[in-house]
């Protein structure tokens, strides 16, 4: 029997694996679905091995799913001789080879690819149509609709609007429990008060995929863990991770959200970001599940645990995306403090005597994962205090985490963590000396450096670097009322003390690779 003619090619990017997308509701053999493993996408930054394996495996599983549903699929593998290793170069030959007269793609989440595909469409001699990914709860334009043309965009304003729009944790349109935000209850250090459940333990053997990646010459970092790959790569598995989260981890999630511990890389975190970002699972189903668990078992899953989680997904996740589309491409070039430094070499190995950084970086290399406070208050904090160029910091974060895609990585890194936007996202720089890290973790207890010393060979580098940061950027920070107390303390620093701080900080900065 002759195969039906292909009329439309539908492109699916590696982070667009949305099983419920309306594209797949009806089978039409005139449509060819195309997924491509390409070196170009694996090379715009050096990615963690698990990120590349995870994306390729999830693409493979998604292709299999579509085929089983009766759809026509071309999954272009890395070593396919036809593969030109670039999305647009592949589209060029594919459109000719199939004779299709129409190309459809889902709106990319990343500015770079969005521009590439827009330009490609302008030149194409056939119809090109972009459709929504049907994944997010807000549109790219949400920020302008909510905030107009303001200079600052408060997450809390955005979050409340989202709660109302989607009727989440509300009663008579008012927040359940009388408060919108239980942030103050989300800051407990973990001292072993509860058992930390072991990771769910998905076990895949993806060594064939890993072999193909290495043979193709793609450069990666970090441990592949290909034979015991434990990130979800199908929708079914993503749902298992969600299930495990609400049953085993959510009861303690909010409380220990900011805690860090040498023995537990994941603590009570969901590890859902990868599945969410490649769209195996949707934000609303995650939110509804957590909300339902709270309603059904309020004793076990207190409001502060549920709200603490929902705020991240309904609030922060949608908020950073809105800000990304509002502020790109300028956002990606900002450098408020004019920092020019390089990342210390040990950011790639974890080989440093600074225990907090050693743990946060080593687990990043081992699991392609660190939780929010490790990213913000350990690695991000240090990079900002050390004056590293935001481009370098962005590149690192975009590469090392399995969940890193620019729309979410860049606002968090350049905006929240590095304050390179001068305070559009966050109202003050997230910097701290050792005291905060000590309060929220057990890292300092077994550290080579002394958390309470500011001067000397054993002084914790965070301490002098912290005060040095305020002295160095005094003019840029003195008008910020959120840090008025700090500025008062800086004003009290005598000239001789200031010199000692600078000396100690400069000594550390000059020897940064050996800290
Ligand atoms: P949980 O702690 O269980 O939180 C639940 C979910 O909330 C996450 O899965 C995520 O989807 C969402 N969420 C939580 N915080 C944020 C946030 N600040 N912004 C957006 N979504 C959030 N997240 C990414 O998904 N990709 C990134 O590339 C990324 N880069 C970051 C870089 C820096 C410097 C910082 C400070 C944060 C970054 N985050 C990023 C946010 C956050 O650290 C991760 O979403 C979280 O650690 C993922 O682990 P989890 O799924 O166990 O999260
Ligand atoms: C990150 C990534 C990698 C490593 N490889 C591919 C790939 O081979 N094919 C593909 O379609 N997508 C890949 N991706 C994801 C994209 O680079 C890109 O980050 C997202 O589509 C932007 O949101
Ligand atoms: Fe980190 Fe300083 Fe604590 Fe060591 S003493 S773990 S370097 S904060």
pLDDT digit string, tens, across residues 347-357: 999 999 999 99
Instruction: Let me know if residue 1 belongs to a domain.
Output: no
- Claim to verify: residue 308 and residue 393 sit in the same structural domain: no
Instruction: Let me know if residue 2 belongs to a domain.
Output: no
User: Which ligand has the minimum distance to the alpha carbon of residue 52?
Assistant: 2
Q: Tens of pLDDT along 364-383?
A: 999 999 999 999 999 999 99
- Claim to verify: residue 418 and residue 460 sit in the same structural domain: yes
> What's 260's domain CATH number?
1.25.40.80
**Structural tokens at position 376:** 């913000």
Instruction: Let me know if residue 51 belongs to a domain.
Output: yes
- Claim to verify: residue 292 and residue 415 sit in the same structural domain: no
Instruction: Give the end of a domain, one of 64, 99, 131.
Output: 131
Instruction: Let me know if residue 24 belongs to a domain.
Output: yes
- Claim to verify: residue 352 and residue 210 sit in the same structural domain: no
Instruction: Let me know if residue 3 belongs to a domain.
Output: no
- Claim to verify: residue 232 and residue 152 sit in the same structural domain: yes
Q: Does residue 160 have a pLDDT over 80?
A: yes
Q: Ligand 1: which residue has its CA nearest to atom 52?
A: 271
- Claim to verify: residue 126 and residue 12 sit in the same structural domain: yes
User: Which ligand has the minimum distance to the alpha carbon of residue 316?
Assistant: 1
User: Which ligand has the minimum distance to the alpha carbon of residue 381?
Assistant: 1
CB 182 within 8 A of CB 304: yes
- Claim to verify: residue 114 and residue 204 sit in the same structural domain: no
Among 355, 383, 432, 453, residue to substitute to test ligand 3 (most atoms within 8 Å of Cβ)? 355
| More confident position, 147 or 82 | 82
Q: Ligand 1: which residue has its CA nearest to atom 45?
A: 273
Instruction: Let me know if residue 55 belongs to a domain.
Output: yes
Domain extent at residue 434: 335-514
- Claim to verify: residue 106 and residue 229 sit in the same structural domain: no
Neighbour tally for 274: CB within 10 Å: 27
Q: Is 137 helix (H, G, I), strand (E, B) or coil?
A: coil
Instruction: Let me know if residue 352 belongs to a domain.
Output: yes
- Claim to verify: residue 285 and residue 369 sit in the same structural domain: no
Instruction: Let me know if residue 136 belongs to a domain.
Output: no
Q: Ligand 1: which residue has its CA nearest to atom 22?
A: 317
- Claim to verify: residue 153 and residue 233 sit in the same structural domain: yes
Is 412 close to ligand 1, i.e. is its CB under 6 Å away? yes
Q: Tens of pLDDT along 228-238?
A: 999 999 999 99
Residues 6+ apart with CB under 8 A from 267: 190, 196, 256, 259, 260, 261, 371
Neighbour tally for 143: CB within 10 Å: 23
pTM over 0.95: yes
By CB atoms closer than 10 A (0-12, 13-18, 19+), residue 271 is: buried
Q: Ligand 2: which residue has its CA nearest to atom 14?
A: 14
- Claim to verify: residue 98 and residue 26 sit in the same structural domain: yes
Is 437 close to ligand 3, i.e. is its CB under 6 Å away? yes
Is 260 close to ligand 3, i.e. is its CB under 6 Å away? no
Is 397 close to ligand 1, i.e. is its CB under 6 Å away? yes
Task: Please state, for a pLDDT cut of 90, what percent of the chain lies above it.
Answer: 92
> What's 424's domain CATH number?
1.10.579.10
Give Cα 172 to chain centroid, integer Å: 34
Is 371 close to ligand 1, i.e. is its CB under 6 Å away? yes
Averaged pLDDT of the chain: 96
CA 404 to ligand 1 centroid distance, Å: 9
Q: Ligand 2: which residue has its CA nearest to atom 13?
A: 14
Q: Ligand 2: which residue has its CA nearest to atom 17?
A: 41
CB 375 within 8 A of CB 347: no
Is 313 close to ligand 1, i.e. is its CB under 6 Å away? yes
Q: Ligand 3: which residue has its CA nearest to atom 2?
A: 460
Task: Please state, for a pLDDT cut of 70, what percent of the chain lies above it.
Answer: 100
CA 15 to ligand 2 centroid distance, Å: 6
- Claim to verify: residue 164 and residue 276 sit in the same structural domain: yes
Kind and range of the H or E run holding 471: helix 461-472
Mean pLDDT of 24-48: 96
Mean pLDDT of 169-183: 92
CA 22 to ligand 2 centroid distance, Å: 21
Alpha carbon distance 430, 216 (integer Å)? 40
pLDDT recorded at residue 91: 98
Q: Ligand 1: which residue has its CA nearest to atom 49?
A: 271
Q: Does residue 2 have a pLDDT over 70?
A: no
Among 344, 443, 456, residue to substitute to test ligand 3 (most atoms within 8 Å of Cβ)? 443
Atom of ligand 2 nearest to the CA of 36: 9
Compute the chain's Rg from CA coordinates. Answer: 24
CA 374 to ligand 2 centroid distance, Å: 25
Among 10, 11, 12, 13, residue to substitute to test ligand 2 (most atoms within 8 Å of Cβ)? 13
Q: How many domains does the chain have?
A: 3
Instruction: Give the end of a domain, one of 327, 344, 372.
Output: 327
> What's 62's domain CATH number?
3.40.50.620
Instruction: Give the end of a domain, one of 311, 327, 343.
Output: 327
- Give the bridge partners for 323, in sequence order: none
CA 449 to ligand 3 centroid distance, Å: 6
Q: Tens of pLDDT along 180-222?
A: 998 777 779 999 889 999 999 898 999 999 999 999 999 999 9
Q: Ligand 3: which residue has its CA nearest to atom 1?
A: 356
Is 323 close to ligand 1, i.e. is its CB under 6 Å away? no
Q: Does residue 1 have a pLDDT over 60?
A: no
């Amino acid at each position: 029997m002759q195969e039906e003619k292909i009329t439309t090619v539908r492109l699916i990017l590696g982070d667009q694996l949305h099983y419920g997308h309306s594209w797949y509701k009806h089978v039409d053999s005139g449509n060819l679905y195309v997924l491509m493993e390409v070196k170009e996408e694996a090379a715009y930054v050096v990615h963690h091995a698990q990120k590349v394996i995870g994306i390729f495996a999830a693409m493979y599983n998604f292709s299999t799913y579509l085929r089983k549903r009766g759809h026509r699929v071309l999954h272009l593998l890395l070593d396919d001789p036809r593969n030109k290793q670039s999305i647009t170069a592949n589209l060029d030959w594919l459109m000719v080879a199939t004779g299709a007269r129409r190309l459809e793609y889902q709106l990319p989440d990343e500015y770079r690819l969005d521009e590439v595909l827009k330009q490609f469409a302008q030149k194409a001699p056939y119809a090109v149509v972009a459709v929504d990914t049907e994944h997010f709860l807000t549109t790219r334009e949400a920020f302008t609709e909510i905030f107009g043309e303001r200079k600052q965009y408060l997450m809390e304003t955005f979050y409340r609007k989202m709660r109302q729009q989607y009727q989440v944790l509300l009663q008579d349109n008012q927040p359940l429990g009388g408060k919108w935000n239980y942030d103050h209850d989300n800051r407990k250090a973990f001292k072993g008060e509860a058992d930390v459940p072991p990771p769910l333990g998905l076990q895949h053997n993806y060594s064939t995929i890993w072999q193909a990646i290495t043979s193709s010459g793609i450069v990666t970092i970090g441990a592949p863990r290909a034979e015991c790959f434990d990130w979800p790569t199908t929708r079914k598995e993503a749902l298992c991770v969600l299930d495990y989260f609400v049953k085993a981890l959510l009861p303690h999630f909010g409380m220990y959200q900011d805690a860090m511990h040498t023995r537990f890389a994941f603590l009570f975190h969901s590890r859902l970001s990868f599945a969410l970002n490649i769209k195996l699972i949707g934000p609303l189903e995650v939110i509804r599940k957590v909300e339902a668990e709270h309603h059904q078992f309020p004793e076990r899953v207190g409001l502060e645990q549920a709200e603490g989680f929902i705020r991240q997904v309904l609030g922060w996740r949608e908020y950073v995306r809105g800000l990304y589309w509002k502020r790109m491409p300028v956002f990606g070039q900002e450098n408020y403090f004019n920092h020019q430094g390089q990342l210390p070499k040990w950011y790639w190995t974890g080989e440093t005597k600074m225990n907090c950084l050693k743990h946060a970086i080593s687990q990043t290399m081992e699991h392609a994962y660190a939780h929010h406070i490790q990213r913000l208050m350990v690695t991000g904090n240090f990079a900002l205090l050390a004056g590293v160029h935001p481009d370098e910091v962005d590149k690192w974060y975009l590469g090392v985490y399995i969940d890193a895609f620019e729309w979410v990585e860049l606002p968090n890194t350049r905006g929240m963590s590095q304050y390179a936007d001068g305070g559009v996202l966050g109202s003050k720089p997230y910097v701290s000396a050792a005291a905060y890290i000590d309060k929220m973790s057990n890292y300092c207890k077994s550290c080579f450096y002394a958390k309470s010393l500011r001067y000397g060979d054993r002084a914790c580098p965070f301490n002098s670097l912290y005060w040095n940061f305020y002295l160095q950027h005094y003019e840029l920070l003195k008008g910020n009322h959120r840090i008025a107390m700090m500025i008062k303390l800086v004003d009290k620093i005598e000239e001789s003390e200031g010199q000692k701080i600078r000396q100690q900080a400069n000594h550390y900065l000059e020897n940064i690779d050996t800290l």
